[in-house]
Chains A and B, each alone.
Chain A
Amino acid sequence: MSDHDTQRRQFLKTSLGAAAVAIAPGMLLFDTAHGKTEADSSKVRWGMLIDTAQCKTGCNDCVTACNKENGLSGGTLPTDSQWMRKIDIKDISSGRETSLPMMCQHCEEPPCVDVCPTGASFKRADGIVLVDRHRCIGCRYCMMACPYKARSFVHEPLHDQKPDVPRGKGTVESCTLCVHRVDKGQQPACAQACPNKAILFGNLNDANSEIAQKLRSVASVQIRADMQLNPGIRYQGL
């Protein structure tokens, strides 16, 4: 082996070593920043069971918690973002009144994901439907397609955003199922805030989870079940 070859090998070894040393802390940080990655797996399907019998008319605690958690203004003008809202419904034939929270239903077949031209609307492996704010061009087609009117468009410049919840003027947003909390093993803010524990959050795919057991034992419905979108949010007592 010539001296030249030895030098070249030495140089390659040193460079590789230097590169590894340079990248390793970054990779570690990247892993740490992402937290638990196993949450985002198809073994899990996050969902909610909302017991409307426990949901009180006039109580807005879940909505307030959602606004606080995600840094929303809480305004109710037609141009304000409302990721979650309370709807009061009254059966026209019987007159029975019910109150319930409405937000992104995290469909298994989300129309917003189908129609999004850039793929900014997407569904994670664990069933959470999100908007990639870096890819959203603000065409609002997803808002036209959503059967639950769950999405809002950011009409104004934003200030003081929450570090965990990136938002942006000119893009569309909706309930993230508090993905930043769920990935840390916590409950969504609305489920935690409900004084009557009307919102049960959990893994629909785990037969032993509380939500799966309850879904087996009580009658529940999907809103606009006729559209066959299989939403992850179910309602009891409707």
Chain B
Amino acid sequence: MADLYALRSKNRLYYVLLAIAGLVVLAGLYAVHMMESHGHIITGMNNQIVWGLPHVFAIFLIVAASGVLNVASIGSVFGKAIYKARAPLASLLSIAMLAGGLTVLMLDLGRPDRIIVAATNFNLTSVFAWNVVLYSGMFSLVIIYLWTMMERRMNPWNKTAGLAVFAWRFILTTGTGLIFAFLTARQAYGSAILPPMFIVLSFAWGLAVFHVVQTVIYAWNEKTLDADILRRKKNLLGVFIIGSLYMVTIYHMTNLYFAHKSAFENFILRDGGVFPDMFWWGYIVIGNLLPLLLIYVPGLGKAKCVMAASLLVVLGALSLLYVFIIGGQAFPLDIFPGFEVKSTFGDGQIASYHPSIYEFLLGIGGLAIAFVITTVGVRVLDFMPHDKPYVAD
């Protein structure tokens, strides 16, 4: 009877969690309603900081949605059994985060009611328009990929679908990086290193999210992840963190080397107040060094350490995106190189940005959408990884 009681209270807890997430989604929709009726004046965004907190959340979700599929690709494309067992969960997470991220991006538009215009008018030179195709294509492909895994008769197509998803997500994250890489006039952006940087970042962020969700699912079902599997996944996460740290370092080093970008680098890395703080403490220490310690220091690296490391990687990701997106716009655009400038429109001045509660609610609403899709998906379909007795492959 005690078991039944425990089961019932767990069931109740499930619905409570779902209801809380539902309320967060509703709060996000309320924020959208407010932004729709009052305009973006109620956000902290302005004519200098045109993309704000919603974009930080949205880009995190979209980049992580692509990266989480790495788990599936290692299974389907490279044939590793322990990853293959996790491909369905990875695909579900990808769909969930893509849905959350795209919802935030769409609802932050000045005219979200005109989304049909975006769907029917394509400017072929616009990387935004390409991304509309890339995101919707990704959605459909991952659904097909899931179908080939979960429907036995479709199994023969699994490898093909896996390959297609593998290729598509590389192109998709390239597209996300290109949004910034094509902004040639801005000191912070306009660099060919951004698409590969986003791809490597996506690996680390996606795996971190995957690990958090997997740990929660195992705990919920009172199961323990095989120690060997945990070791392999934690080492992979470590490698991805080192890889992303490398890419971010190269991005800043190249900028530092260019004389015309050194003022921007001094701002973002040293003098820019909240931005260097978030970069060094938020991204480098919390998002990289601490996770690496938790993973690699002898005696650490247990399940709880890896879970903590994964959560820290997510926090670091949000810090990095805040610095990259908002810090990148806060630094004044250099319209007159070699001149001191001033005007009524913020020329030559560091732009200020104070995110409002509405932007925060919209961003968190996106996370909640991803949470709802994942929890409902895991509840109604079989996304639990089924490991065969472990064989090193």
Q: In the complex, A75→B197 CA distance in Å?
A: 40
Given contacts A115-B128, A153-B50, A169-B39, are A137 and B345 in contact (CB under 8 A)? no
Q: What string of 1s and 0s marks CB contacts (under 8 Å) between A111-146 and chain B?
A: 101111111100000000000000111111101111
Interface residues of A: mostly helix, strand, loop or mixed?
loop
Contact of A86 among B118, B128, B339, B344 (CB under 8 A): B344
Which one of B10-18, B40-48, B144-152 is at the A interface? B40-48
B340 & A90 in contact (Cβ 8 Å cutoff): yes
Decide yes or no whether A156 CB sits under 8 A from chain B.
yes
Q: In the complex, A87→B343 CA distance in Å?
A: 5
A87 & B129 in contact (Cβ 8 Å cutoff): no
Chain B residues 43 to 90 lying within 8 A of chain A, measured CB to CB, are: 46-48, 50-51
B111 & A137 in contact (Cβ 8 Å cutoff): yes
Contact of A140 among B50, B123, B185, B339 (CB under 8 A): B50
A170 & B39 in contact (Cβ 8 Å cutoff): yes
B100 CB to nearest A CB, Å: 18
Q: In the complex, A102→B128 CA distance in Å?
A: 27
Decide yes or no whether B168 CB sits under 8 A from chain A.
no
- The interface residues of chain B lying within 8 Å CB-to-CB of A137 are 109-112, 114-115, 117-118
Chain B residues 100 to 121 lying within 8 A of chain A, measured CB to CB, are: 109-112, 114-115, 117-118, 121
A87 & B347 in contact (Cβ 8 Å cutoff): yes
B117 CB to nearest A CB, Å: 5
Decide yes or no whether B221 CB sits under 8 A from chain A.
no
The interface on chain A, measured as residues whose beta carbon lies within 8 A of the other chain's beta carbons, has a size of 55
Decide yes or no whether A147 CB sits under 8 A from chain B.
yes
- The interface residues of chain B lying within 8 Å CB-to-CB of A145 are 182-183, 185
B40 & A116 in contact (Cβ 8 Å cutoff): no
Q: What string of 1s and 0s marks CB contacts (under 8 Å) between B336-369 and chain A?
A: 1011111111110001100000000000000000
Decide yes or no whether B29 CB sits under 8 A from chain A.
no
A117 & B343 in contact (Cβ 8 Å cutoff): no
Residue of A nearest to B42 (CB): A155
Decide yes or no whether A16 CB sits under 8 A from chain B.
no
B338 & A93 in contact (Cβ 8 Å cutoff): yes
Q: In the complex, A136→B110 CA distance in Å?
A: 9
Decide yes or no whether B169 CB sits under 8 A from chain A.
no
- The interface residues of chain B lying within 8 Å CB-to-CB of A25 are none
Q: Can you pick out 20 interface pairs between chain A and chain B where the beta carbons lie within 8 Å of each other?
A: A76-B345, A77-B46, A78-B46, A78-B351, A79-B40, A79-B47, A92-B340, A115-B128, A117-B128, A118-B117, A136-B110, A137-B114, A144-B51, A144-B329, A147-B184, A147-B185, A153-B47, A168-B111, A172-B110, A227-B184
- A-contacting residues of B (Cβ < 8 Å)? 38-41, 46-48, 50-51, 109-112, 114-115, 117-118, 121-123, 125-129, 132, 179, 182-186, 189, 329, 333, 335-336, 338-347, 351-352
